[in-house]
Chains A and B, each alone.
Chain A
């Protein structure tokens, strides 16, 4: 089944403890992206990747890192999480940049 898989679905952590949210797609998509969704602020792009080893900042990249070493994987790294990064995170992919975007099921992160 074609899908975007994120893990974990739920994560509770403490301020400053490094964490990684994994994202994997099995559709051979070139384009991948991370979004965060917050009440009143909607969905905002964090980082995106056009292909392997090609990444760039979205609208809210501060406090996040990404890497794209393989086409299928696009992990989101929070090196020193803070409470303002408490949010619902979505990974998404599409065949190429300007094509239908498919989302993972989301990761609800709480930083205390």
Chain B
């Protein structure tokens, strides 16, 4: 089955810094999504991005399907960006989640 690997596993930033989170997947996919799990445990969908580039405010994501990776960019980070970021990749009926990147943004 598809393997999904995320890096780095942990990231500590000062407020205002930029960061890039990476997601590698082992096989071709037609479904790629990024989620944020906040400190209260809620899972929020950030992007549905099987290919191409999207932006939403300070966040943007790029998926290069032919090279089997996706990147999530966080600019001008804020303390509210803290939490765990998950990438999920797959095809029909199945999304495989990566282990996540735990982000802590300090004031």
Interface residues of A (CB under 8 A from B): 42-45, 48, 50, 56, 58, 88, 90, 92, 97-103, 105-106
Task: Give the size range of B's interface with the partner.
Answer: 20 to 34
Interface residues of B, dominant DSSP = strand
Which residues of B are in contact with A by a Cβ distance under 8 Å? 30-31, 33, 35, 41-45, 48, 50, 86, 88, 91-95, 97-100
Contacting pair B92 A42 (CB below 8 A): no
| Chain A residues, CB < 8 A from B88 | 43, 101
B37 CB, nearest partner CB in chain A, Å: 9
The residue from B45, B48, B50, B92 contacting A97, defined by CB atoms under 8 A apart: B92
> In the assembly, what is the distance between CA of A90 and CA of B86, in Å?
14
Nearest Cβ in chain A — how far from B44, in angstroms?
8
Residue in B42, B43, B88 whose Cβ sees the most chain A Cβ within 10 Å = B43
- Across the interface, A43 reaches (CB within 8 A) one of B42, B91, B92, B97, namely B97
Give bound CA distance, A100 to B46, whole Å: 9
Judge whether B48 and A42 touch: CB under 8 Å. no
